[in-house]
Structures are given as C-alpha cells and as structure tokens.
Amino acid sequence: MAHWLMKSEPDVFGIDHLKAEGTTLWDGIRNYQARNFMRTMAIGDRAFFYHSNITPPGIIGLMEVVEVGLPDPSQFDPQSKYFDPASKPEAPRWDCVRLKYLATFAPLLALDRLREEFTPEELAVVRRGNRLSILPVPEACATRLYELLGAPS
DNA sequence: GCCAACGTTGGC
DNA sequence: GCCAACGTTGGC
C-alpha cells in the first residue's frame, strides 16, 4: 500500500464535502505528471487530503483509494471548465480515481509544521513553489505523518 | 529541437 | 498583489 498527498482548495472541494459525500471522483486533473501518479495508484492506497490556497494550508484528512483507472468524465463535457475537445471517448486522455473518506484531523497539520519536520527532498509538498496537486509520500514520511497527526478528531 | 512568451498553482 | 517554479505553446 502506497501513500499520496492530494491537494484541493477547500472553497471548491474540502474535507467536509468529502465527508458528506462519502466518496468522490477526483476529477479535473490536467497535468500529466499528476495524472501519471494517479495511474500508478492501487486500490487500498491511502492519500492525505491537503487544503491549499487557505490560511493556514496543510494536511486536514485521510482518504482511501477505492477505484482506479476511470476516465475523467469532465473531459467530454462541453459545459465543464475541464472540457478537452482533443480527447476522444475511445482514447481518453485524462484519468481519475475514486476516493473514500476515512478521517479528519483537527487542527490540521500546517505547512509550517511540515517544514519543521521534513526536508523538501523527503516530502515534496514542503518545497517552495511546488505546484503539483498530487504527490507521492514515501513510507517513512507516512509513518511520521501518522504520528504527528495523532488520532482523528 | 530551441527558446521566449505565456499560463497556472499556490504560498506569502 | 507579488513571485517562485514550473508546464505548455508556438514561431522559427
């Protein structure tokens, strides 16, 4: 089982939305590196839910991968801001995965704190200027993150 | 293939 | 609003 970190802006889709819905399709990813990470996800993997673009940013929850290799429906929807006219249903360009809510942590584990605990080499999210919305989390970091996060609230 | 211009993410 | 750190696009 691998670990991941997945960012979302809470104004758009936050941990409370996920908790209310139970599971969600993680769609709208339009970055090849992030897509390729999703393609290596397996059922049973876990992902730390990261709130971005808010004060303070940080890890707020935990999710589990429950479905993989799904074509992202928004790429075929002309009304969607993620519509991709170049993508064909017989050869979808963009994938997504389904994630299940597991836990919320309160207070969140803030980016400031993550910077005290991890180097940019260990945990990419603490690197200044990092724009990738999906990042792998090495197992050694995941173990320490569980210790730092403590019991879910 | 090179590179400049431009766009996006996200912290601050 | 600014800027860092890229990714993408398009001219050549």
pLDDT tens for residues A102-149? 999 999 999 999 999 999 999 999 999 899 999 999 999 999 999 999
Which nucleotide is closest to the Cα of A131 by its C1'? Answer: B9
Which nucleotide is closest to the Cα of A115 by its C1'? Answer: B11
- Grade residue A86 by pLDDT with cuts at 50, 70 and 90: confident
Looking at the structure of chain A, the number of domains it has is 1
Please give the residue range of the domain that contains residue A13.
3-149
What does strand C contact on the protein, if contact means CB under 7 A? A 31-33, 128-131
Report the SS3 class of residue A68.
strand
Please report, for the domain that includes residue A66, its CATH number.
3.10.590.10
Residue A152 clears pLDDT 90, i.e. is over it:
no
What does strand B contact on the protein, if contact means CB under 7 A? A 7, 9, 50, 52-54, 56-57, 111-112, 115, 128-133
Prediction pTM value: 0.95
Which nucleotide is closest to the Cα of A132 by its C1'? Answer: B9
